[in-house]
């Protein structure tokens, strides 16, 4: 059974209760940063449009076909039947391909640790498998964030749009973006104005990541040959420098 989250931009009041609940649920230090990090799995961002502050959330979109999983060479990322995309730190080798491949720039690295890991939202997997909603949805006072079955959330999103057509933009973000995501968004302002990526995001990305990844062995092979050639040239020059030069003949001694 696939679950998800519906976020309604028009209902968000910027209280950041979702952030606090997420941080508490994952044992993170409380903060109000607007940037995702290894210690901040979801953030509430602020956008000023026509002298009006608009609030919206950023978190892992939990793609139906996650590119982070497609590029991971050790299978550290998996898409669960519940909808969450999970990360297995025990398998991770620190290559950080997931960070490059993610179209939403979500996975973050623990740069300040000697044994760093990749961190991101796990859709409160420890809660939803116990029949509980995500911490962010439970904490939201305005139902701007709603947790439930993905199909039910799509119906709810359509109902809100149909009931107030003059208020909402007729679009559900996440239905087709990146091949579909478990996080759905509806809004009363244009998504592009909030920085949501729509153009060129209407397909799943693993097919493109594989096109890039399959070229990596060729790049590595070429790089190896290039580096060996460079080493040979440098080593040859050093060897030549060590060979003592023969003393030049004195032309005056040869004159009889």
pLDDT tens, 25-38?
A: 999 999 999 999 99
Question: What is the pLDDT, as a whole number, of residue 152?
Answer: 98
pTM of the model: 0.79
pLDDT beyond 80 at 227: no
Contact 44, 55 (CB under 8 A): yes
Q: What is the pLDDT of residues 174-221, one digit of tens each?
A: 999 999 999 999 999 999 999 998 876 766 665 555 554 555 554 444
Euclidean distance between CA atoms 99 and 202, whole angstroms: 20
Q: What is the pLDDT of residues 89-99, one digit of tens each?
A: 999 999 999 99
User: H helices of the chain, where?
Assistant: 17-25, 67-71, 97-101, 125-128, 135-139, 150-163, 206-213, 216-242
């Amino acid at each position: 059974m696939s679950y998800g989250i519906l976020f309604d931009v028009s209902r968000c009041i910027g209280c950041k209760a979702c952030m606090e609940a997420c941080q508490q649920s994952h044992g993170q230090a409380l903060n109000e940063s607007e940037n995702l990090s290894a210690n901040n799995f979801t953030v509430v961002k602020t956008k000023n449009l026509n002298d009006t502050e608009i609030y919206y959330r950023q978190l892992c979109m939990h793609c139906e076909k996650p590119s982070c999983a497609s590029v991971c060479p050790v299978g550290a990322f998996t898409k669960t039947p519940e909808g969450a995309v999970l990360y297995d730190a025990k398998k991770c080798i620190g290559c950080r391909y997931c960070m490059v491949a993610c179209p939403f720039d979500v996975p973050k690295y623990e740069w300040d640790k000697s044994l760093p890991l990749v961190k991101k939202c796990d859709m409160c997997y420890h809660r939803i498998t116990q029949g509980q909603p995500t911490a962010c949805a439970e904490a939201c006072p305005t139902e701007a964030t709603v947790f439930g079955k993905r199909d039910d959330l799509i119906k709810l999103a359509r109902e809100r749009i149909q009931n107030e057509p003059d208020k909402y933009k007729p679009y559900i973000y996440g239905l087709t973006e990146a091949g579909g995501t478990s996080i759905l968004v509806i809004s009363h302002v244009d998504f592009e104005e909030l920085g949501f990526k729509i153009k060129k995001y209407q397909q799943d990305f693993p097919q493109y990541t594989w096109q890039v990844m399959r070229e990596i062995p060729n790049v590595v092979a070429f790089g190896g040959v290039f580096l060996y050639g460079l080493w040979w040239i440098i080593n040859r020059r050093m060897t030549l420098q060590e060979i003592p030069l023969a003393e030049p003949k004195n032309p005056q001694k040869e004159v009889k």
